[in-house]
Amino acid sequence: MTTTVPTSTSLTTEASLSKVTPTRDSRRLRASPWSRSPHTSCGRPSVLLDGDAWRALFDRFGSEAWRLEVQPTYTMPGEADSFARFLRGESKPESHNSRWHGRVKGYRADGKYVGRVRIVRRPLTDYQRYQFAWGIPGNLAAGEDIRVLDLTGKDLGLPDFDFWLFDETRIVRLNYRPDGTQINRELVDDDPAAYREWKRIAIEASVPFSTYVESQGGART
């Protein structure tokens, strides 16, 4: 059963709040309730979060908000103009992503942690180059902890969908179409143990953003 919370549909979080192609072995490793299609949640109740409901849930985390970001590209209306400017070779505006930066600074001032692992495969997509050059540096400066996991030629059995894990217990799956358009945000009643294990694997196998960029010769890898 899926319940939709009727709220404003305006974007109220970071525009890039992330799909890898699984191998036959990885599909077998992930033959679990957590890899089923959106809205089913293996028969468990779930709640779709839009606008103010998503912002309110996000802001209520107690100590830690962590994301696994896996999509090769995101097609976000709020980023269309800045992404086009990046592709044209223009300079990044000083105010780029400033709302998210303000929120991260507020969380950090309250002693809270915000982090993510960004999965990539080489060569980077145009969107990933945009993230590396325009998005991630500012997020880091605001206090977010961002690591990169390069899965080129590898499979660690991680899921092919994005999720936020709040306080190691609450899970919000971010569902996307193949072109990177977001379908919905889904608060699911899954057992968090699998998500905590995916988080552990991703963190242990990844490196800090700056380390990855240096190893690849720059942000425009």
In contact, 197 and 91? CB cutoff 8 Å: no
Closest among 155, 116, 173, 170 to 139, alpha carbons compared: 116
For residue 164, report the phi and psi dihedrals to the nearest 5 degrees.
Answer: -105, 135
pTM of the predicted protein model: 0.81
Neighbour order of strands in the sheet with 145-150: 2-4, 46-48, 182-188, 170-176, 162-166, 64-69, 113-120, 145-150, 207-208
Looking at residue 72, what DSSP letter applies? S
Mean pLDDT score, 187-202: 98
Q: In the predicted model, is pLDDT for residue 20 greater than 50?
A: no
Mean pLDDT score, 4-26: 35
In the structure, what pLDDT confidence band is assigned to residue 217 with cuts at 50, 70 and 90? confident
**pLDDT for the residue 8:** 31
Q: In the predicted model, is pLDDT for residue 142 greater than 90?
A: yes
Which residues are CB-neighbours of 91 under 8 A, at least 6 positions away?
Answer: none
**pLDDT for the residue 219:** 55
Q: In the predicted model, is pLDDT for residue 9 greater than 80?
A: no
Least confident of 3-12, 64-73, 203-212: 3-12
In the chain, the domains with their CATH numbers are: 25-216 (3.30.870.10)
Least confident of 4-8, 103-107, 120-124: 4-8
The pLDDT mean for the chain works out to: 85
In the structure, what pLDDT confidence band is assigned to residue 210 with cuts at 50, 70 and 90? very high
CA distance 146 to 220: 17
CA distance 8 to 186: 16
Q: In the predicted model, is pLDDT for residue 36 greater than 90?
A: no
Per-residue model confidence as pLDDT tens digits over 67-109: 999 999 999 999 999 999 999 999 999 999 999 999 999 999 9
Per-residue model confidence as pLDDT tens digits over 37-52: 445 555 567 999 998 9
